[in-house]
Amino acid sequence: MSPPAPSARPGTSSDDLASGAVPAAAGRAAARLARTVENALGGVDLSLPQYRMLVFLDDMGSSAASALAGRLGVSRPSVTALVDGLVARGFAERAADPADRRRVAHVITPKGRAALAAADEAVGRRLAELSSKISDPGARTSAVEGLVAWLDALNTEREAKLADS
């Protein structure tokens, strides 16, 4: 016997959203989307952490391990292990920082940019496939715009945290 279908999703009325309430369904959707992205990345032989690292290296140009750790929210040893794997595959390289020769800079390589482009394409293709399951075209557009708005919010929060540190 199936459980009864809810008549409305809690926390999704305009009053609930205006008050700052975010429904549990949003968190669950985010978790499932993360898994969906991870599965899409498997098709291009990248893990989600590797993808995130390539995105940051592409965005930042070059970065020290400590800065990468802060941006990714992981420890420096985790960054080292992650970069080691990317370096072994030719996706990133380590170089002396011209501004401070004691510092090692991590940079994305052309091969890494190609891998990132392939990953972006695979993820985009999977999200487009998934969004086709949203029957209302307006809701589909809103869903994609919502993801972009979340990205903007996450970037704003990250920049504020980095400015405070």
In contact, 165 and 70? CB cutoff 8 Å = yes
The predicted model scores a pTM of: 0.79
Tell me, what's the pLDDT at 74? 87
Query: Where does the pLDDT of residue 20 fall: very low under 50, low under 70, confident under 90, or very high at 90 and above?
Result: low
Name the average pLDDT for the chain.
Answer: 86
Parent domain of 95: 44-123
The C-alpha R_g of the chain, in whole angstroms, comes to 19
| Total number of domains constituting the chain | 2
Residues 49 and 117 in one domain: yes
- Find, among 128, 104, 107, the residue nearest to 116 by Cα: 107
Q: How far is CA 145 from CA 14, 92, 96, 154, in A?
A: 17, 31, 40, 14
Query: Helix (H, G, I), strand (E, B), or coil: what is residue 123?
Result: helix
CATH of the domain at 88: 1.10.10.10
pLDDT of 4 > 50? The answer is: no
